[in-house]
Structure formats: structure tokens, C-alpha cells
Amino acid sequence: MEFTIDKRVFLESLGKVQGLCGRRTSFPITGNVMLIAGKDEITIVATDLEVGFSGTYPAAVAEPGKAAIPGKKLFEIIREFPTESVTCKEKENGWFEISGASAQFKVVGMDPEEFPALPDLSGVASWSLDSADFLDMVEKVNLSGTVAAEERRPHLLGFLLQKVEDEDGKKRLRMVSTDGHRLSLVDYLSGENDPGQAIDAEEGVILPKKLLPEILKIMEEEGPVSLGSKGSYFVLEQGEERLVCRLVEGKYPDYNMVIPKEIETFFTVNKEFFLSILRRMSILASDKYRAVRFKVEKNQLLVSMVNPDMGESMEPVTVDFNGEPFEVAFNPRFFVDAMGPMVSEQVRIKIKDDEHPCIVEGDDEPGYIAVIMPMKLD
């Protein structure tokens, strides 16, 4: 195998799979990327056995073939390479040569025949939407720092993708994500195009949450993206790049049970102003003391953080609240995660008391709500 490829194209494509080839699995070869040279193109394949990626890119191929090369080392070599084009050539005894001008590297590869094959999902029913809309959905359900905490609750390790239908017959693509302490739900209005044709289950499909950051790394902001499911696998495609993952088994919990109904009391705040307050409060947070207190009154919200080991902070916010005064505690990071991807300048926080979850929503994203559970007051 021998090919020459533009350094920038090669580097960008290898950068997209670092999260996959960097994960430890029971098969050491998954730390490699598979390079397949065909006619005027190369295909890069990576997998951690649960999520897989393949992408095809233009290249000048002198000799077709395939090789399995350590993914992180190859990325580091190409990143520091001094030339605008890179020539790669398979040598004897599993060695792989990377050269250009006076620079030359040789690395040891593995047997490409041992590399796990991605599932064949040809002929899968697919559904297309604009990538910007899909990325917006992903950002809003990508709850940070939750996977490790949920390992004992497998049904929460995934996020739900399903078709829902309004009373007027309008169909929506819905994503739901939860970690037991908060929930994010976002709908995409699909119009006449039925996303159910691409989702092989009436109750929807559960995808692993670690797919979300991979989507954010790989997806471009422009152009259509297609998605579909077949059997126990899900596929997402944009252009010449494809993500494949194994579906999470089991039944997703009934998320409608935790969404409060008919909360009539609320206050509205400027999103960026409120986010800045919560970020300042989070400076004093620790594993033991991470609760921010909201003292809600008729015309004022008093936000405070007390950490006996570090200090305390307090800031008043003028609001118009139409309920009875009370005090409640929340994890500030949950609000930062919920509000960060929102485009609304004003955020409405529907809140009843210190025992029920609150809802975060905005007028500029009617299909999105975040539900946040309160913490116990000391």
C-alpha cells in the first residue's frame, strides 16, 4: 500500500477518531486506525467496539492495500509533519513509513485482518435533516459528566431517540437524556417527513451517551445528515463520513413521569447574566458543598453559595415572581449545562416550591425543556 494525501485533510480526519482509538478495550488493535487505500481515495476506520467511524477522503494512490496503525501516534506524527502533503507506504514485517521532503517516520502496525469489521447497514431506511438542527439537539441533550456516575444504572447510560406525534398529527423527532437528577428533552418538527421510517421501534431507540461527543466532533455545521436504525445498530451519515453504534438494550424510563405539569409560577431572567452569576457561585463549589441556594421572593431572587471550607458568595437578582416566597437548593452546573446551548436571550424558570423539580425553557426554542431536581437544604 502506498498513497499521498494532503496533510490538512489527513490531520482533520485522524483528529475526529482520537476519542475512539484512545479508549481501552479487550482488543488492543482497537487502539489502531485502519487505513484502506482504494482508487484515488483512502478510507479511515476506527472503533471502540461500541461506536465505529468510517470516512473516505481523496488521495493519490500508487498501490492499493490496507494497514492498521496506532491511531494516537499517527495523529501526533501528522500534526507535527513539516510538509503540506504526506506519503504513506506499507513496508515489510508490518512496518509503516510516513515521509515527506526530508522527514521520515517508521511505525509498527498490526495485522489489518484482525481489525474488527463495522456492521453492514446497507439498505437501512434513513431520514434526513439539516445538520445544524441535529447538532443543536445533540448539544442540548449532551449532559456533561454523567457517564461514570450512571454505570450502576445501565438504562440511564443512553439517550432516547424517538418519533412523537402531536394531537394535530404533526410528527417530531425527539431526543431525551437524563441522569436521574435532571432531564433534557428537545423536539425537532419534521413536517411531512416521517422520522419513524428510520427508527426501527415504536418506542424509539436508546443510543449510548458516549456517541454524543463523537457526533459533536465529527459533524459539520452545514449540509444534510441522515440517520437510521436496523436491528441492534444505529447509523448516522454526513457526506463520506459515517458513525455506527450498537443500541443500548432495555426499556427507557417513562420520562413523562418526572416532567412537572401545570406549573403556573415562574420568573424570567437574562440568560447570560444568570449564567455569569452561577459560574461565579461555582468557584466555591466542591464535591461536598456544591449546592447553590435560591431564595425566591415576589420581586427578588437571592442567589447564594456557602462552603465552610472555602467561603461564601451572595448576589441579588431583580425578578418578577408570581408565587409565594420560598428557598430551594440546586446544583449550579445543571443550570449551566441546560442554559448554555440555548439561543433565547431571556430564560423562563418555572418553579413551584422546594420539593418539586423546576423547568427551564425559552421562547426562541419551543421544542426544548430542561428539568432540574432540587437538592436537600441543610
Task: Please provide the DSSP assignment of 130-194 as one string.
Answer: EHHHHHHHHHHH--TT-TGGGTT-GGGSEEEEEEEE-TTS-EEEEEEEE-SSEEEEEEEEEETS-
Please name the helix (run of DSSP H) or strand (run of DSSP E) that holds residue 104, with its range, or none.
Answer: strand 103-108
**What is the tally of helices (H) and strands (E) in the chain?**
7, 25
Could you give the 3-state DSSP secondary structure of residue 311?
strand
Does residue 122 form part of some domain?
Answer: no
Does residue 154 form part of some domain?
Answer: yes
Model pLDDT, residue 243: 94
Model pLDDT, residue 146: 45
- Domain holding 266: CATH number? 3.10.150.10
Domain boundary (114, 137, 161) is at: 114
> What is the rounded CA–CA span in Å between residue 210 and residue 245?
10
Model pLDDT, residue 149: 44
Does residue 213 form part of some domain?
Answer: yes
Same domain for 184 and 103? no
| Phi, psi (degrees; rounded to nearest 5) at 347 | -115, 135
Does residue 147 form part of some domain?
Answer: yes
Same domain for 100 and 159? no
Beta-strand pair 65-70/32-37 = antiparallel
Expressed as residue numbers, the domain containing 48 is: 2-114
Same domain for 252 and 263? no
- List C-alpha distances in Å: 186 to 243, 283, 293, 339, 366: 21, 30, 27, 13, 9
Same domain for 236 and 281? no
Q: Which pLDDT tens digits describe the chain residue by residue (378 residues)? A: 999 999 999 999 999 999 999 888 888 999 999 999 999 999 999 999 999 999 999 999 999 999 999 999 999 999 999 999 999 999 988 899 999 888 899 999 999 999 999 998 887 878 888 898 899 999 999 886 544 444 455 556 789 998 887 777 777 889 999 988 999 999 987 655 566 566 756 688 899 988 988 898 888 778 899 988 888 899 999 999 999 999 998 888 889 998 998 899 999 999 999 999 999 998 988 888 889 999 999 889 999 999 898 999 999 999 989 889 999 999 999 999 999 999 999 999 999 988 899 999 999 998 999 999 999 876
Does residue 277 form part of some domain?
Answer: yes
Does residue 354 form part of some domain?
Answer: yes
> What is the rounded CA–CA span in Å between residue 349 and residue 342?
13
Does residue 378 form part of some domain?
Answer: no
- Looking at the 3D structure of the chain, how many domains does it have? 3
- List C-alpha distances in Å: 328 to 99, 264, 286, 302, 372: 62, 17, 19, 11, 12
Same domain for 247 and 133? yes
Same domain for 134 and 110? no
- Virtual torsion, Cα 272, 276, 278, 280, nearest 10 deg: 180
Model pLDDT, residue 150: 44
Could you give the 3-state DSSP secondary structure of residue 39?
coil
Same domain for 216 and 319? no
Beta-strand pair 182-191/368-372 = antiparallel
Q: Which amino acid is at 318?
A: T
Same domain for 134 and 108? no
Same domain for 176 and 282? no
Does residue 193 form part of some domain?
Answer: yes
348 - beta bridge partners?
268, 361
> What is the rounded CA–CA span in Å between residue 306 and residue 297?
20
Domain boundary (256, 274, 301) is at: 256
Same domain for 333 and 346? yes
Same domain for 108 and 132? no
- List C-alpha distances in Å: 357 to 151, 178, 221: 24, 13, 33
Same domain for 233 and 175? yes
**Total-model pTM:** 0.86
Domain boundary (90, 114, 138) is at: 114
Model pLDDT, residue 202: 66
| Residue (of 168, 231, 216, 165) closest to 195 by Cα position | 165
